[in-house]
Structure 1
Amino acid sequence: MSSNPVSTQPLLQIDDLKVGFRAGKQILTAVDGASLTIYPGQTIAIVGESGSGKSTLAHAVIGLLPGNGEITGGSILFEGNDIAKGGRKQIMALRGSSIGLVPQDPMSNLNPLWRVGTQIKEALVANGVATGAAADKRVVELLEEAGLPDAERRARQYPHEFSGGMRQRALIAMGLAARPKLLIADEPTSALDVTVQKQILDHLDSLTDTLGVAVMLITHDLGLAAERADHLVVMYRGKVVESGPAREILQNPEHPYTKRLVAKAPSLASQRLSSVTAARAEVREQAVQTAAEIAAELEASEALGEGRDDIIVVDNLTKVFTLRGAKPWQKVDFKAVDDVSFRLRRGTTTAIVGESGSGKSTVARMVLDLLPPTSGSVEFDGHNLRDLKTKAERLRLRRQMQPVFQNPYASLDPLFSIYQSIEEPLSTHNVGTKKEREAKVRNLLDRVSLPTTVMSRYPGELSGGQRQRVAIARALALDPEVVICDEAVSALDVLVQAQILELLNELQAELGLSYLFITHDLAVVRQIADDVLVMQNGKVVESASVSQVFDHPSEEYTRRLLDAIPGASIQLGA
């Protein structure tokens, strides 16, 4: 948050802005009469869920609305000039040099055919910042500023060699390349771990203080907004419903929508935490009881499970990948997972937490038998996965362990209807008749609180939260004992995230499910998990109950993760 005195002359002044999208002869309003002011050196946060109009407003400012989008009313004054009424040349002259952008999606905003350094260098050259060797040197400095170690080597790599978080950092470096007066950061840290997120946001604060760069922060994370912004603008259905000093709004929200956002924000510490802990204990007790009943039934059946207390036992798990070295002919070994051991108690949730590259997702893939371990073992209900040789045995395992992946936009086939997406595992495993499968799909949709009318629709017609509910329904189709959630709520807005977490808790209590929950978001862990495994550089550095990890962390690395949760220190009313 800026400590500089704010100039009395606005840098950006938006007044009664209206933005619409043409659909045939109609214009659908996306931003409806929005007004806000940003001064040099000021950070404001625009908060709202998907579809609230916050990103559309930002794209209108920088002239990046899609072809069918247009400004239908109001004004956008940048340093006194109305760029809403200016031509394309005017906005292109400002873009990059005066107004920078950090876009949200790191997977689609980098050219896969160009080296990362080349793309950042292009931004430097285009804006007249540097050329030649000076530009190459500046590229490395920018990548270091954005939090990438070994920046010189990284600059020579291609986007596919970067993780999602690393790509986002490259985009941040690009957005800051020309030292703009206003930086529009559209969910700039949504793909980043909390420690890296803190580093990036600290850097943005530093720019605000030293260079007078104003920041328009688009986010759905109220904790982040409260910690980083001077001023908060809350958008709902295209309108600004509340605007004012950030802490004041969070302490005393007036609009019902803002009150809902504050109530559901997982990163804001408050007296709610004690009730969350009590609710988790109740869910755990119910789930263990249900799991015991299910286990008793399984012992009498031909299922793989034998009803053991520890449904998954991982011992000394190690995974080594062979990677390309500095020279094309060189090969180097990289130990992604290093001697990891843990147990998942039946009917409970174990969260595996760590930064990108810590090995947590690799562990999940080995537990799912999607990746063979280099050494060590994974046991499911007393059966070593390496001993499952036949196709029939592996199919039985697949039925009892199901994944829910991070991205609800990519995990569903866009050419399959919702019915086909959920029915597919039933058909693959020859479960029931066509009529019985349809009844099962209807029941599953009901369980995840979706109307049966969505069966005929396609993923592109659903919101992110609805798609993730479909993904959960599909995971439950084969009545599994274990569901492995790999960053299952990280791509969702706060309100939708809260709904999905509540749904997972309810399903666990109702069905006796056991969850392995992979995440980088410690704020979410407290709402979903019983036990926590903290991973760093492929190793387990701490393993304990949720309350012990949060209240009495034993490792410095864990303390750093907890301290980096945005807004965790902000106390709100009950």
Structure 2
Amino acid sequence: MTAVATERPLLQIRDLHIAFTSGKKDVPAVRGVDLTVYPGQTVAIVGESGSGKSTTAHAIIDLLPGTGHITGGSIEFDGVDLTSLSARKKRAYRGDRIGLVPQDPMSNLNPLYRVGTQIKEVLEVNDVARGKAADRRVVELLEEAGLGDAESRARQYPHEYSGGMRQRALIAAGLAARPQLLIADEPTSALDVTVQKQILDHLDGLTDELGVAVLLITHDLGLAAERADHLVVMYKGQVVESGPALQILQDPQHPYSQRLINSAPSLRSRRLMARERAEVRAEAAETALEHAEEVIGHGEGPESAGSPSSADAASADEFGGQVSAPVIRTTDLTKVFKLPGKGLAKRDFTAVDAVSFELARGTTTAIVGESGSGKSTVARMVLGLLEPTSGTVEFDGVDITTIRSRAQQLAFRRRVQPVFQNPYASLDPMYSIYRSIEEPLRLHGVGTGKERERKIRDLLDKVSLPAAVMSRYPNELSGGQRQRVAIARALALDPEVVVLDEAVSALDVLVQAQILKLLNDLQAELGLSYLFITHDLAVVRQIADQVLVMQQGRVVEQAGSLEVFDSPREEYTKRLLAAIPGRSVELAS
């Protein structure tokens, strides 16, 4: 979708300033933004969280949150300055001429109302259709959005839809009144890459067919590279670079644009990442073997602060495997859930089906696949949080499914630690950062109070956080800082294995790159072994040595990282790789 430059702009933003009131003062959030969208054009605004991209978009449709308000500049839509209109007249543009596809479909669809009812409301509010005509139009819109059996789907509630289906429903609602401009605010950030590609392909087709211009808000450079004609880069509330998408991606002028592009997993050089991984590989493996020898050798090696050799010895007494053997080995791991069937009957659902793999010390094995592939269920069984239906999980030669004593359980927990997807959900909001990190040390009886404090300071230093954050609470930290705290807590007990379940999927590209570098550095320094669960193959290329590709509970491909990316064997793996946003974009070397 490329606009003709001689056309009159559909949307023209000039010198826009937006502030939020805090106390009695205005705090600037957007400063002097200029932006132009032509009819039929796709423009992407990119930047990290807090850059002002969503605030700019919400100002267009008069949906600024809280105390947000425009303090200067103009927003002209089809020749009319929206900032000069009354609230009632602004509402006339919203939905009718400017549509919105918001980021989180679950919080933007009312769980108490049927999906069809909510789309019908859009039609009626914008005087598109009413009554039975509106009901028929709802079905047509859901069909347009790619939902099969649309008549039945219209009668369902949001919780009965998958994430991709909910996003399609929001697209149907956003395009219901046939707007001239569609604002898509991170429309696929929570979706798997294959579902994301389906949604965006369908959105492209619909907007192209209807001649709708699109303002795409995203932090994903790969997605912007693939979908947009024009790119606007925002940083700290200002536009730092603007121009044709490919031109900016191939020759970025601003240092921030350069950082964004260099950090985007799907746009980084494969050779560069392979070299970076090779540099830390030998060091990590060597450190891992040394650490295992210390633990299995009853803590005869040097002790870390607040980690007495007696605790290491107790752990080693329970797990005395061979140092050279894989630290984790699963054999025919299977999990069958009992789900409600007809009446009182139950039906079997096989979430994980005979999965076998090995995790060598000091290496990273990534398990990838779409939602529902079984990868997180495997992680929970490896962590001992879920009992397998059949098969074994061995840690240091001991089948953890046979562990019964509390001493064995504590020894296992000490040496295998998790980091989950959402650090805000996994950190108690009522606990200070100090207390959150201290908790595992206290529960395992590690060190005195002063020793634990020294340990926590050391851990925060390892994850590049200042000691001052100890007194703060999770809500006072950014997403990246919270994930660093979660990693510090996981390292508190000096584990050998860390299971990372979608640990970077909710983070902006720059923060994601920082966390991945941190994980690589910690692996080299501490000899950690990682089991990395993700749906993002672009991230896998940066961190994994071995890759397992899962589909519907089964491993369909298992090989080294380079082999999977350069010579995938299975059609499903090829589909996952092809769906990586920006993979097809050729950048200058």
- Using structure 1 for the length normalisation, give the TM-score: 0.94
Q: Are residue 410 (structure 1) and residue 443 (structure 2) matched?
A: no
1:279-304 CA deviation, whole Å, 9 max, x = no partner? 21221211111111111112222324
Q: Does the C-alpha gap of structure 1 residues 546 and 402 become closer, same or farther in structure 2, counting only changes over 3 Å? A: same
Q: Does the C-alpha gap of structure 1 residues 411 and 91 become closer, same or farther in structure 2, counting only changes over 3 Å? A: farther
User: Quick check: 2:292–2:496 contact (8 Å CA) kept in 1?
Assistant: no
Matched residue, 1:216: 215
Q: Are residue 274 (structure 1) and residue 271 (structure 2) matched?
A: yes
Q: Does the C-alpha gap of structure 1 residues 166 and 450 become closer, same or farther in structure 2, counting only changes over 3 Å? A: farther
- What SS class does the counterpart of residue 276 from structure 1 fall into? helix
Question: What is the rounded CA distance, in whole Å, between the counterparts of 1:145 and 1:376 in structure 2?
Answer: 45
Matched residue, 1:83: 82
Moved over 6 A (4+): none
- What SS class does the counterpart of residue 30 from structure 1 fall into? strand
Question: What is the aligned counterpart of 1:522 among 537, 541, 544?
Answer: 537
Matched residue, 1:472: 487
User: Quick check: 1:163–1:356 contact (8 Å CA) kept in 2?
Assistant: no
User: Quick check: 1:288–1:348 contact (8 Å CA) kept in 2?
Assistant: yes
How is 1:63-462 mapped onto 2 (pairs within 5 angstroms)?
Answer: 63-131=62-130, 135=134, 138-139=137-138, 142-143=141-142, 145-146=144-145, 155-269=154-268, 272-301=269-298, 302-303=314-315, 304-305=318-319, 306=321, 307-325=323-341, 331-462=346-477
1:458-482 CA deviation, whole Å, 9 max, x = no partner? 1111111111111111111111111
Matched residue, 1:551: 566
- What SS class does the counterpart of residue 172 from structure 1 fall into? helix
After TM superposition, the structure 1 stretch with the greater mean CA deviation from structure 2, 534-543 or 167-176, is 167-176
1:59-107 CA deviation, whole Å, 9 max, x = no partner? 1111111231100001111111111221221222222222121222344
User: Quick check: 1:7–1:39 contact (8 Å CA) kept in 2?
Assistant: no
1:247-277 CA deviation, whole Å, 9 max, x = no partner? 01111111111111111111115xx321211
- What SS class does the counterpart of residue 366 from structure 2 fall into? strand
Matched residue, 2:25: 26
Q: Does the C-alpha gap of structure 1 residues 288 and 119 become closer, same or farther in structure 2, counting only changes over 3 Å? A: same
- What SS class does the counterpart of residue 101 from structure 1 fall into? strand
The one-letter amino acid paired with 1:282 is: E
User: Quick check: 1:308–1:381 contact (8 Å CA) kept in 2?
Assistant: no
Matched residue, 1:61: 60
The one-letter amino acid paired with 1:504 is: L
Q: Unaligned stretches of 5+ in structure 1?
A: none
Q: Does the C-alpha gap of structure 1 residues 157 and 318 become closer, same or farther in structure 2, counting only changes over 3 Å? A: farther
Matched residue, 2:514: 499
Question: What is the rounded CA distance, in whole Å, between the counterparts of 2:514 and 2:183 in structure 1?
Answer: 29
- What SS class does the counterpart of residue 99 from structure 2 fall into? strand
Once the two structures are TM-superposed, the CA of residue 139 in structure 1 deviates from its matched residue by: 4.5
Q: Does the C-alpha gap of structure 1 residues 274 and 441 become closer, same or farther in structure 2, counting only changes over 3 Å? A: same
Q: Unaligned stretches of 5+ in structure 2?
A: 299-313
Once the two structures are TM-superposed, the CA of residue 140 in structure 1 deviates from its matched residue by: 5.2
Q: Does the C-alpha gap of structure 1 residues 317 and 104 become closer, same or farther in structure 2, counting only changes over 3 Å? A: same
- What SS class does the counterpart of residue 483 from structure 2 fall into? helix
Matched residue, 2:311: none
Q: Does the C-alpha gap of structure 1 residues 510 and 57 become closer, same or farther in structure 2, counting only changes over 3 Å? A: same
Question: What is the rounded CA distance, in whole Å, between the counterparts of 1:399 and 1:162 in structure 2?
Answer: 39
User: Quick check: 1:100–1:175 contact (8 Å CA) kept in 2?
Assistant: yes
The one-letter amino acid paired with 1:311 is: V
User: Quick check: 1:42–1:230 contact (8 Å CA) kept in 2?
Assistant: yes
User: Quick check: 1:6–1:42 contact (8 Å CA) kept in 2?
Assistant: no
Aligned identity (percent) is 71
Once the two structures are TM-superposed, the CA of residue 371 in structure 1 deviates from its matched residue by: 1.6
Q: Does the C-alpha gap of structure 1 residues 116 and 324 become closer, same or farther in structure 2, counting only changes over 3 Å? A: farther
Question: What is the rounded CA distance, in whole Å, between the counterparts of 1:339 and 1:112 in structure 2?
Answer: 37
1:176-214 CA deviation, whole Å, 9 max, x = no partner? 333322111111111111111111111121123211111
- Using structure 2 for the length normalisation, give the TM-score: 0.92
Q: How many residues align?
A: 570
Higher Cα radius of gyration: 2
Question: What is the rounded CA distance, in whole Å, between the counterparts of 1:399 and 1:338 in structure 2?
Answer: 28
1:33-75 CA deviation, whole Å, 9 max, x = no partner? 1011111111000011111100110111111112311000011
1:6-30 CA deviation, whole Å, 9 max, x = no partner? 6702111111110000011110000
Once the two structures are TM-superposed, the CA of residue 566 in structure 1 deviates from its matched residue by: 1.2
User: Quick check: 1:165–1:356 contact (8 Å CA) kept in 2?
Assistant: no
1:338-361 CA deviation, whole Å, 9 max, x = no partner? 222211111110111111111111
- What SS class does the counterpart of residue 267 from structure 1 fall into? coil
Question: What is the rounded CA distance, in whole Å, between the counterparts of 2:19 and 2:537 in structure 1?
Answer: 38
User: Quick check: 1:352–1:533 contact (8 Å CA) kept in 2?
Assistant: yes
User: Quick check: 1:352–1:532 contact (8 Å CA) kept in 2?
Assistant: yes
Question: What is the rounded CA distance, in whole Å, between the counterparts of 1:421 and 1:313 in structure 2?
Answer: 30
User: Quick check: 1:147–1:196 contact (8 Å CA) kept in 2?
Assistant: no
The one-letter amino acid paired with 1:572 is: L
Once the two structures are TM-superposed, the CA of residue 533 in structure 1 deviates from its matched residue by: 0.6
1:321-346 CA deviation, whole Å, 9 max, x = no partner? 23344x66564332222222211111
The one-letter amino acid paired with 2:516 is: L
User: Quick check: 1:319–1:337 contact (8 Å CA) kept in 2?
Assistant: yes
- What SS class does the counterpart of residue 409 from structure 1 fall into? helix
After TM superposition, the structure 1 stretch with the greater mean CA deviation from structure 2, 144-153 or 386-395, is 144-153
Question: What is the rounded CA distance, in whole Å, between the counterparts of 2:374 and 2:128 in structure 1?
Answer: 39
Once the two structures are TM-superposed, the CA of residue 154 in structure 1 deviates from its matched residue by: 5.2
1:397-448 CA deviation, whole Å, 9 max, x = no partner? 2221111111233222222111111111112222211111111111110000
Matched residue, 2:547: 532
Question: What is the rounded CA distance, in whole Å, between the counterparts of 2:436 and 2:376 in structure 1?
Answer: 24
Question: What is the rounded CA distance, in whole Å, between the counterparts of 2:588 and 2:352 in structure 1?
Answer: 42
Once the two structures are TM-superposed, the CA of residue 133 in structure 1 deviates from its matched residue by: 5.7
Q: Does the C-alpha gap of structure 1 residues 330 and 144 become closer, same or farther in structure 2, counting only changes over 3 Å? A: farther
Question: What is the rounded CA distance, in whole Å, between the counterparts of 1:134 and 1:358 in structure 2?
Answer: 40
